[in-house]
């Protein structure tokens, strides 16, 4: 069935006409979405990010202590700083951080004592503008550029006015220039950095310094009138005239202090006031969010959609800068050298290969093409393809999913990279184990090659690794097939079916198996951990992205397969904590969702609802995807059913709300679901538009009765990337009753390695 997959080559054309319909889409976005998170229960694990799309630096208020992964928690009512931030997840901490904190009456540097009380009623949180007024009447405002920000601190009249710059958790240096109203310096904090890494910053104020000095945040000692300091946790403070309103432009660079100054001049130099920066940032965001215009839904639906689309547009971050000649270059987090070109960081592919990157192939193809080259540059600089860059390679989670990104890009016409080098890099990944965690190289690769599976308990999470290795091997195979590399295709042709080796027909579940071929004893399908990653057998049953029809065959046919899918939603939400030895937040979130064993708050099962389409019941996909969106997402502080994870959970919503989803990244297909809106217009980079019309759509009319594509009857339950990027109109007739006979022909079913007729 691979003949269905026809790579689409298109020319990248930027057309301002594509965004002629400028709307104030920023007004729909709530950057507080998903911020009501705790260690025990996450509602997104987000923070109120103030940034530009994919910006190198972002800014956020800080309610947590320095070094705390929970940077901002909605339930807290005190702020202790406003940070330059890069954090992917609360579980990964942050890097290259420094912060500002305004205060009145007296200088207080201690982070626990300087925090100020606030109310969410006095808080505005938009992509282009954050504002909060403290109970002490100090107001802070922030608007972003790509590598900096414009901040404004308004102090109450007659009150002493101080500002503290905190150097955070690692090494830092500051230099104060009173005559120039300027502070420059660097910070070095975070984990896993190469020698030489520094974040250089410069901050320029529009008000004179009445007094100043340095301090350190270990013992909170202050050096009055000191102009410079360097060491652990060094910072600076300034006193302004009482009751002043002060603006500061700040920018950072990973290359040099000179480049930091250039970034400030280039991005913020012409902005006289914060309002200038705010307006520019709004225009950038409206243009970016305007790549998808939705009409005909509720205001709440639009708020959820654009808040999710905002989150989907933050990661991966640009890690490159523009030199004096306007050309990109960067400090490499992989070899600590300066290179020409583009680099992107801050994402974990285990999360984001599923939806965030497929969304980028549609909406950000030029950036995505640059990204693919950056992946291969990273390989050449450190010897490995990235799996979790933050900003250097951490090797977190499982799988070798860089190959998914590369194969997906090629299948969708993004041919900016050398496929020979990509396949060489992936082969090295698949036949070696690197030093930086289970996903740096391949954990258990020798056993996987010899046995056809990763044995358990010899290797933790072994069954999950087997399933994801087999999918990655499909991506290697398919990239080789698409690019005429038969030698590589032959290597991966057999192992892409290795998922079959961990399926137990007696229980009809994927299971752990030891090196002698024995199934792990004491099987309980709701037991978490062990051979699985952050889930149980109900969740990992479906991770055969490349061969759903093969999985259907293993499970005894369509009826058994769909019954098992039904059971995911109907089973009690029972938890056996297994090897975790206690409730982790993913378990709690599944129970709270009250959708049986369906655990949308984590990635392994997020594609599952789309699998009914492969087995002749597409109407159930339409029902369940709408149900998931309606029940588990909103635009509030409780807006996610679990970790948002670098745009992945948001991207699932954005794609699903458009009525499509990339079940098998590495192919050119999107499986049809059920759109939320009556009309969706994609304004594509090539200047064309693709419109999805569903005029009868409503909360009740979730089923597709009939469809046309560009005026012709359309029975497929998938649409190709080429159908979309070539422009046109998909019109859906929606109804409240399932269309039980639509799209049941074999050629209407989405891609699978195995023939659906078998």
Of the candidates 447, 562, 495, which has an alpha carbon nearest to the alpha carbon of residue 753? 495
Q: What angle do CA 268, 269, 272 make, to 5 degrees?
A: 85
**pLDDT higher than 50, residue 6:** no
Does residue 721 belong to any structural domain of this protein? yes
**Cα separations in angstroms, 676 against 298, 300, 638, 647, 673:** 9, 11, 20, 19, 10
Distance of alpha carbon 111 from its chain centroid, rounded?
A: 30
Does residue 21 belong to any structural domain of this protein? no
Residues 24-37 have pLDDT tens digits of 999 999 999 999 99
Same domain for 316 and 281? no
Does residue 755 belong to any structural domain of this protein? no
Mean pLDDT of 588-601: 96
Check if the beta carbon of residue 725 is closer than 8 Å to that of residue 684: yes
Of the candidates 348, 329, 328, 349, which has an alpha carbon nearest to the alpha carbon of residue 339? 329
Check if the beta carbon of residue 357 is closer than 8 Å to that of residue 407: no
Does residue 4 belong to any structural domain of this protein? no
Check if the beta carbon of residue 473 is closer than 8 Å to that of residue 479: no
Does residue 3 belong to any structural domain of this protein? no
Does residue 15 belong to any structural domain of this protein? no
Does residue 5 belong to any structural domain of this protein? no
Range 578-595 burial, b when 16+ CB lie within 10 A, else e: bebeeebbbbbbbeebeb
Euclidean distance between CA atoms 548 and 361, whole angstroms? 23
Same domain for 190 and 304? no
Contacts of 528 (CB under 8 A, 6+ apart): 534, 535, 536, 575, 576, 577, 578, 579, 580, 584, 586, 587
Same domain for 234 and 354? no
Same domain for 715 and 627? yes
Euclidean distance between CA atoms 597 and 590, whole angstroms? 7
Residues 294-315 have pLDDT tens digits of 999 999 999 999 999 999 999 9
CATH assignment of the domain containing 231 = 2.70.98.10
Torsion of CA 376, 377, 382, 386, to 10 degrees: -50
Contacts of 756 (CB under 8 A, 6+ apart): 1, 549, 552, 614, 746, 749
Angle between helices 365-382 and 402-411 (to 10 degrees): 140
Band (pLDDT 50/70/90 cuts) for residue 363 is: very high
Same domain for 356 and 372? yes
Same domain for 342 and 271? no
Question: Looking at residue 39, what is its pLDDT?
Answer: 86
What is the DSSP pairing of strand 222-224 with strand 211-216? antiparallel
Q: Which of 290, 318, 335 is the endpoint of a domain?
A: 290
Same domain for 286 and 306? no
Residues 277-297 have pLDDT tens digits of 999 999 999 999 999 999 999
DSSP 665: B
Check if the beta carbon of residue 29 is closer than 8 Å to that of residue 126: yes
Check if the beta carbon of residue 64 is closer than 8 Å to that of residue 158: no
Band (pLDDT 50/70/90 cuts) for residue 692 is: very high
Mean pLDDT of 240-262: 98
Cis status of the peptide bond prior to 391, with omega within 30 of 0: yes
CATH assignment of the domain containing 604 = 1.20.1610.10
Same domain for 273 and 301? no
Band (pLDDT 50/70/90 cuts) for residue 2 is: very low
Same domain for 187 and 269? yes
Check if the beta carbon of residue 656 is closer than 8 Å to that of residue 696: no
Of the candidates 19, 87, 101, 76, which has an alpha carbon nearest to the alpha carbon of residue 51? 87
Look up the domain containing 485 and give its range. 293-748
Same domain for 236 and 332? no
**361: helix, coil or strand?**
helix
Q: Which of 272, 290, 308 is the endpoint of a domain?
A: 290
Mean pLDDT of 518-546: 98
Question: Looking at residue 137, what is its pLDDT?
Answer: 98
Contacts of 450 (CB under 8 A, 6+ apart): none
Q: How many CA atoms lie within 13 A of 287 on its CB side?
A: 15
**pLDDT higher than 50, residue 8:** no
Does residue 10 belong to any structural domain of this protein? no
Percent above pLDDT 90 for the chain: 94
Question: Looking at residue 92, what is its pLDDT?
Answer: 80
What backbone phi and psi angles, to 5 degrees, belong to 479? -60, -40
Check if the beta carbon of residue 609 is closer than 8 Å to that of residue 624: yes
Same domain for 357 and 286? no
**Tokens encoding 332:** 């490499």
Q: Which of 222, 255, 290 is the endpoint of a domain?
A: 290
- How many domains is the chain partitioned into structurally? 2
Euclidean distance between CA atoms 87 and 96, whole angstroms? 10
Mean pLDDT of 79-94: 91
Same domain for 343 and 265? no
Mean pLDDT of 635-659: 97
């Amino acid at each position: 069935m691979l003949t269905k997959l026809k790579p689409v080559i298109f020319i990248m054309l930027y057309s301002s006409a594509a965004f002629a319909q400028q709307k104030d889409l920023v007004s729909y976005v709530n950057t507080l979405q998903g911020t009501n998170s705790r260690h025990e229960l996450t509602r997104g694990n987000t923070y109120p990010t103030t940034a530009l799309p994919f910006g190198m630096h972002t800014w956020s208020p800080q309610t947590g202590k320095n070094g705390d992964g929970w940077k901002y928690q909605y339930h807290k009512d005190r702020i202790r700083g406003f940070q330059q931030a890069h954090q992917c997840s609360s579980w990964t901490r942050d890097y290259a951080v420094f912060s500002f904190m305004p205060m009145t009456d007296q200088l207080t540097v201690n982070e626990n004592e300087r925090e100020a009380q606030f109310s969410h009623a006095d808080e505005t949180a938009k992509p282009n503008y954050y504002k909060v007024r403290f109970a002490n009447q100090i107001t802070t405002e922030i608007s972003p550029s790509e590598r900096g920000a414009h901040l404004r601190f308004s102090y109450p009249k007659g009150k002493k006015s101080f500002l503290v710059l905190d150097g955070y958790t690692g090494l830092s240096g500051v230099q104060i220039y009173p005559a120039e109203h300027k502070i420059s310096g660097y910070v070095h904090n975070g984990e896993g950095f190469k020698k030489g890494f520094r974040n250089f910053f410069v901050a320029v104020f529009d008000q004179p310094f009445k007094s100043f000095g340095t301090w350190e945040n270990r013992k909170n000692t202050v050096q009055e009138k000191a102009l410079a300091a360097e060491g652990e946790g060094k910072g600076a403070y300034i006193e302004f005239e009482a009751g002043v309103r002060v603006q500061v432009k700040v920018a950072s660079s990973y290359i040099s202090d000179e480049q930091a100054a250039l970034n400030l001049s280039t991005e913020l130099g012409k902005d006289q006031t914060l309002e200038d920066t705010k307006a520019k940032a709004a225009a950038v965001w409206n243009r970016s969010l305007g790549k998808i215009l939705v009409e005909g839904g509720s205001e709440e639906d639009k708020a959820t959609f654009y808040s999710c689309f905002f989150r989907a547009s933050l990661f991966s971050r640009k890690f490159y800068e523009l030199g004096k000649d306007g050309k990109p270059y960067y400090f490499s987090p992989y070899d600590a050298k300066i290179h020409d070109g583009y680099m992107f960081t801050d994402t974990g592919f285990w999360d984001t290969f599923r939806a965030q990157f497929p969304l980028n192939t549609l909406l950000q193809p030029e950036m995505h093409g640059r990204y693919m080259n950056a992946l291969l540059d990273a390989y050449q600089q450190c010897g490995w393809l990235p799996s979790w860059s933050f900003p250097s390679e951490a090797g977190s989670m499982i799988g070798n999913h860089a190959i998914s990104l590369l194969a997906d890009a090629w299948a969708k016409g993004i041919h900016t990279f050398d496929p020979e080098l990509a396949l060489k890099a992936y082969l090295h990944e698949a036949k070696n184990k690197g030093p930086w965690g289970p996903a740096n190289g391949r954990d258990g690769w020798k056993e996987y090659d010899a046995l056809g599976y990763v044995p358990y308990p010899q290797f933790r999470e072994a069954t999950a690794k087997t399933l994801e290795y087999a999918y990655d091997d499909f991506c290697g195979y398919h990239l080789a097939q698409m690019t005429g590399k038969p030698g590589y295709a032959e290597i991966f042709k057999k192992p892409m079916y290795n998922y079959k080796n961990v399926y137990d027909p007696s229980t009809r579940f994927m299971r752990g198996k030891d090196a002698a071929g024995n199934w792990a004893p004491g099987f309980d399908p709701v037991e978490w951990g062990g051979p699985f990653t952050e889930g149980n057998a109900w969740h990992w049953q479906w991770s055969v992205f490349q061969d759903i029809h093969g999985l259907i065959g293993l499970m005894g046919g369509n009826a058994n397969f769909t019954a098992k899918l039904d059971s995911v939603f109907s089973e009690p939400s029972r938890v056996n904590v297994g090897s975790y030895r206690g409730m982790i937040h993913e378990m709690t979130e599944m129970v709270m969702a009250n959708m049986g064993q369906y655990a949308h708050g984590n990635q392994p099962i997020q594609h599952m609802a789309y699998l009914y389409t492969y087995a002749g019941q597409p109407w159930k996909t339409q029902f369940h995807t709408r149900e998931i969106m309606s029940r588990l997402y909103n635009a509030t502080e409780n807006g996610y059913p679990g970790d948002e994870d670098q745009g992945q959970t948001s991207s699932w919503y954005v794609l699903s709300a458009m009525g499509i989803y990339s079940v098998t990244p590495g192919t050119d297909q999107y499986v049809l679901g059920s759109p939320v809106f009556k009309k969706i217009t994609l304004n594509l980079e090539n200047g064309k538009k693709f419109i999805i019309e569903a005029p009868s759509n409503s909360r009740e009319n979730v089923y597709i009765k009939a469809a046309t594509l560009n005026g012709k009857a359309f029975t497929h339950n998938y649409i190709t990337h080429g159908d979309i990027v070539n422009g046109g109109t998909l019109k859906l007739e929606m109804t409240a009753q399932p269309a039980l006979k639509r799209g049941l022909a074999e050629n209407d079913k989405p891609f699978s390695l195995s023939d659906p007729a078998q």
